[in-house]
Structure 1
């Protein structure tokens, strides 16, 4: 596989050399999980399909060499037979490893394993200058190694990554713990993440679901060997509804990792997929987040929902699709604001603490601080006269006020000076001069804000 990979690198260099001088570099990718809807790349986009394989899984060292365009679905399929999994597996099957590292990722192991980029040992990166460099934390490209996360393909593209893996067991046993008070829930998150246990039982996985200010659940998972009485949420049954109905549950490890993908958390409801009749007729192979995203992309492109709302005399709606990191001691403040001013439910909670002591320049979280990722994905009606981005701007202001951080996979409204203050423009410009001096890759602000 490594010989095949090296040949693919040579072929990619040839593709790049054949492009006109100064032509922008873009990738031809079949899927994306970004929520910045744009026209597909043109004919000159680089074909990177050869970088979608798992090159090697090494059991003794618990590492894997993986192509940068490899989806987590394929990566998990390759590692589970060895009794291993990536340290953090983002929720959606078609997220790629390179995408999660360049654009950040999070899941229920993040309270102990941080984010996907923190388990990377080395990266082979195609830079904007057209070079293929090996970036490690201890070599001459360490600045790119640490600056790559949150660069969103504006410094280069990861062609190969070596990552750490961890041992798993066949199943994950779950407890859904209900809270009727946000402060008690936030306190429990802090305590569980510090002790890695709850009520005398170990906790290997933790995330949460907020249905309202008085109905919150923490879902606590532990690796287990018992394979009896497993639940299956890949067909007619819907995982997020089970959180309210069951105190305990058990899933295969693979089904646990993809528990959110089948219904795109709960967002498939907006597409009618959770209706019992539709559910019965909808092919099981299409109960997937990438299918739903393509449907949403078509809706956005042709403004189908907006036109229908207009015919019904309903107000225009604003997409509010965001993930934000809030310090756990400010979580209650954020949720109170969110319930009052935004009003989306359910909301996802996922604790995260950086795994090491070092910081990552373009997403400068405090390594000593526990954060909670708050995820919300819906549309909100606009008041008469309210402009585009009204609710998203409110959220951005609140996140800054609470010393939080906002992921950039969706729409952003920061002005340029504020953006570079939040995302370390000084370090970014130094990296850009070193690895993309001709500006063949887009600028981070242009990509994440101007072209929303």
Structure 2
């Protein structure tokens, strides 16, 4: 569980080598350009240091050229132990570093981050002490820990834990939908009913009525328009994450849920962003989007023979219904 590096190897180079193999430096600074040798002669500290200490504690051995030209291996328990403990913070004043042997740790593919807002100085100070293990050496501590203090009485504590991919991609939702803001409450209610994923992203956007100059979006309906204007105020509804049923390891039918969401979107006079899977039939797609001008332009510019139709381009490349049934019951 060590790695040997020579001078000028940077943090970024080391992690690029280690992470694909399932490892990282025990103390891994966020500054990719920092050299591992420079940190050894100076100091390093990261959000994993509550477990292992300063960077110097993860150094197994230094290989040094001393003032008399002798090459020595310096460890905490050989004849150069006095040098071992004084090299950190020495900034190259005790010898010339030619190699380092550093501790590494096994990692998982992902780090799950939790952000905990805390009000009150005593509350956030106590929480940091508790989570770090400062109050009890037997306390199970997170893999990464840090805090940002925004004012004397307000802080956010960040807790990171190594995790495997928690769910099959079949179970994650990535959806952006354009919907009329007149029905914002209904949008949030429908997301709660079908997915129960939070937080939900909402931001307003004008959808204009350009008269005869149409694209694929239909003009806003009269009841959707802002009075006295040629536009309707719509909004993006962004839903990203793992549905509640999946988090609770209960049965989740992704195809049924997304079909319900598509029906809701159509009823509201909205449109899903087409980067995500579309479960609509060709007929349903053409009822939702206005393809009149699109078809005319495809024909006029000879695109029909050269490029796929919009629907064929964005429809799933796999049988999503079949796959959905295969993964319907979480492991």
Query: What TM-score do you get using the length of structure 2 for normalisation?
Result: 0.47
Larger of the two Rg values belongs to structure: 2
Query: What TM-score do you get using the length of structure 1 for normalisation?
Result: 0.35
